Chains A and B, each alone.
Chain A
Amino acid sequence: MPSVNRRVLPGFSLSLGYTVFYLSVLVLLPLAACFFKAGSLTFEGFRAAVWTERARAAYLITFGTSLVAAVVNLFLGLLVAWVLVRYEFPGKRLVDSLIDLPLALPTAVGGLVYANLYVPTGWLGQYLVPLGIEAAYSRLAIVLVLIFIGLPFAVRTVQSVLEEIDSEPEEAAASLGATRWQTFRKVILPVLYPALITGFALAFARSLGEYGSVVFVSGNKPFETEIAPVLIVARLEEFAYGEATAIAVVLLVVSFSMLVLINLLERWSSRHVA
């Protein structure tokens, strides 16, 4: 869009002014207040708040469960995207739209259902608990619900790239005598790497901040199944605003770094595909 637009089309300063004003009031100033509040703590106070044993356990659980869920989603995403793009089967369109359900379904509903499915008397728990698989009120429960939350990110990123792939390199590989598996490994997978990594990062970033669903399924026991956002709420309920803010700042810094990383990844992958 040429800058000539500015002299011809109306509403440049109005729309830009309103956008900046709205973003400042609703997003930027409140976020700045959070950093400002954390800055009013002494360095020792900040350290004491964010580096307690309980907080460290919470970070570890948050990162660990998010990482495991994102790795699982890496494979599930590839599987689902591959089947949806390459194969025909009855009900394909329905399955395709169902993939987005975790995005549209409120997190509280997801958490409620997952908490009830895997308890010993639940639909799935009655078969799994006798096998020793405790998928309710455990770390496994957190991982499961995070897989649910992250699945659409992993699937859609891979799917959009897979749809764009030309058939020629594959035909060339086949005509040169490559087996199907060799073609997949050497021809298709390398093109998918950027999308796979981006999907992984998106699912991971989303999992880091997740609260609504985890709070239902995890049991929220400190040191065992307490994630960082739950710890923030616990501190808030003790009216320890300073400590809550300090932990929030840690989370914010991590998620902003993830945002930058994802933007770089997306730029890289779009260049890679083109």
Chain B
Amino acid sequence: MLPEVLSNDPYTAVAVRAPRPQQDPAWIRWALISAMLVVVGVLIVVPVIHVFAQALVGGVGVYWNNLFNDPDTLHSILLTLTVAPAALVANLIFGVAAAWAIARFKFPGRTVLTTLVDLPFSVSPVVAGLIFVLIFGRQGYFGPFLRRDGYSIMPYLISFLGVGLLFALYVLFRPINPRERRGLWNHPRLVGLVGGAAVFGLLVFLQQYFELWPRNESLRIIFATPGLILATAFVTCPFVARELIPVMEATGADEELAAVSLGANGWRMFWRITLPNIKWGLVYGIILCNARAMGEFGAVYVVSGHIAGQTDTMPLRIEKLFQEYNLPGSFAVASVLTLLAILTLIVRSRLETDVHSRVSVAKPQATGAQR
């Protein structure tokens, strides 16, 4: 029933008219809302409450005992706190490098590279563990060598990483303005090849001269911490890159180009311009990557060998306690990981509202966050 006066004015008429055509009748609305609440309740809310109820079923004292007075559980917590950050750091550096290359430059094979970054998401975790067993396991391709004299690769590995780090610093601190480049700054290829080879040789020599690594001893990768880190890093490898690429593409290169044309080197440009622009995407990628790294089960299950007190991470400890019918213990460990998941979600929704209020930063792509 619109008053005569209002309906003569088309603008006001539209504004006042109710219900709007997209509005469903109230009974449909409430039926659908309740149906959805039942679905979310049964599938998600009840399980979360159940975790804490079961963990605390014997009281807080028992809960505390289950977590911190069981040496194997305690060790699993410490192991998870070693493995997850190690994998996280590796994937963080990878993520920033991959996003920089993919979002800032055009090169042949860019689409293929973007797909390859996502590849680990489509590999079953069990297969992810299996491939490392095939390479480093006792019967694997490098197995016999690792058993005989595994540590002999360490000097080369460390030296390679050292040279890579030094070269990265060289590139980052190289002056942008050609007139400011003197001496070695003018010859990146020469420095990279000759200098790199020289430093590599020197580092290898030093490590062998001071006998840093044991000889003729087997280096355990599978059924030991390095294998756990490798498998976790494989599974979580796309997270940071996936979050950063859309954010970097949305911010565009203008500010960075300006910084460089004003004479900033790579290091200054990264810390002053790039990092502030991508920081929320970066934080978001880190927390997602961390949640998955701490909770990874399948891949880690295959490479761990289930040695209690040695290679059991928290999710593996949950499974072992479950098999031993120690449900309160199992749920106690599970409750810690559930808290971590809830914390992840809280940080995530905070960040999303934050990001929304800054128009310059794009919302991370819906599918990107999910896979």
Residues of A within 8 A of B (CB): 1-3, 5-6, 8-12, 14-16, 18-20, 22-23, 26-31, 33-34, 37, 76, 79-80, 82-84, 86-87, 89, 93, 95-110, 112-117, 123-124, 147-148, 151-153, 156-157, 159-160, 167, 170-171, 173-175, 180, 183, 198, 202, 205-206, 208-212, 215-216, 229, 232-233, 236, 239, 241, 244-245, 248, 251-252, 255-256, 258-259, 263, 266
Establish whether residues A109 and B46, one from each chain, have CB atoms under 8 Å apart when the complex forms: no
Q: How far is the CA of A98 from the CA of B113 in the complex (A)?
A: 33
Residues on the A chain within 8 Å of B101, using CB: 12, 15-16, 19
Establish whether residues A104 and B127, one from each chain, have CB atoms under 8 Å apart when the complex forms: no
Establish whether residues A89 and B234, one from each chain, have CB atoms under 8 Å apart when the complex forms: no
Establish whether residues A1 and B260, one from each chain, have CB atoms under 8 Å apart when the complex forms: no
Q: How far is the CA of A79 from the CA of B36 in the complex (A)?
A: 7
Residues on the A chain within 8 Å of B127, using CB: 34, 209, 229, 232, 248, 251-252
Q: How far is the CA of A124 from the CA of B43 in the complex (A)?
A: 11
Flag whether B257 is at the interface (Cβ < 8 A): yes
Establish whether residues B265 and A2, one from each chain, have CB atoms under 8 Å apart when the complex forms: no
A96 to chain B, nearest CB (A): 8
**Out of A10, A98, A114, which one reaches B269, CB within 8 Å?**
A10
Q: How far is the CA of A42 from the CA of B203 in the complex (A)?
A: 45
Q: How far is the CA of A98 from the CA of B176 in the complex (A)?
A: 48
Using C-beta atoms within 8 Å of the partner chain, give the interface range for chain B.
35 or more
Q: How far is the CA of A87 from the CA of B101 in the complex (A)?
A: 42
Closest CB pairs A-B (n = 7): A106-B295, A209-B124, A174-B21, A212-B297, A211-B298, A10-B266, A108-B315
Q: For chain A, what secondary structure do more than half of its interface residues adopt (helix, strand, loop), or is it mixed? A: helix
Q: Which residue of B lies closest to A28 (CB)?
A: B116
Q: For chain B, what secondary structure do more than half of its interface residues adopt (helix, strand, loop), or is it mixed? A: helix
Given the interface pairs A19-B98, A31-B131, the reply to whether A266 lies near B124 with Cβ below 8 Å is no
Establish whether residues A208 and B130, one from each chain, have CB atoms under 8 Å apart when the complex forms: no
Establish whether residues B318 and A109, one from each chain, have CB atoms under 8 Å apart when the complex forms: yes
Q: How far is the CA of A104 from the CA of B342 in the complex (A)?
A: 8
Q: How far is the CA of A266 from the CA of B341 in the complex (A)?
A: 28
Query: Which of B24-32, B144-152, B204-212 sits within the interface?
Result: B24-32
B154 to chain A, nearest CB (A): 16
Establish whether residues A27 and B50, one from each chain, have CB atoms under 8 Å apart when the complex forms: no
Residues on the A chain within 8 Å of B234, using CB: 26-27, 30
Query: Which of B64-72, B132-140, B213-221, B354-362 sits within the interface?
Result: B132-140
Residues on the B chain within 8 Å of A252, using CB: 123-124, 127
Residues on the A chain within 8 Å of B298, using CB: 107, 209, 211-212, 229
Q: What 0/1 readout, one digit per residue, does chain B (70-105) give for beta carbons within 8 Å of chain A?
A: 000000000000000000001001101110111111
CB interface residues, B 263-320, toward A, < 8 Å = 265-266, 269, 288, 291, 294-298, 301-302, 314-316, 318-319
Residues on the A chain within 8 Å of B103, using CB: 1
Task: Please name 16 further chain A to chain B contacts, defined as beta carbons within 8 Å, in addition to the given A106-B315, A174-B21, sorted by A numbering.
Answer: A6-B107, A8-B257, A11-B266, A15-B101, A19-B94, A31-B123, A101-B48, A102-B44, A110-B47, A117-B46, A124-B42, A153-B371, A180-B24, A202-B370, A212-B125, A212-B301
A85 to chain B, nearest CB (A): 11
Q: How far is the CA of A208 from the CA of B124 in the complex (A)?
A: 8
Query: Which of B4-12, B194-202, B329-337 sits within the interface?
Result: B329-337
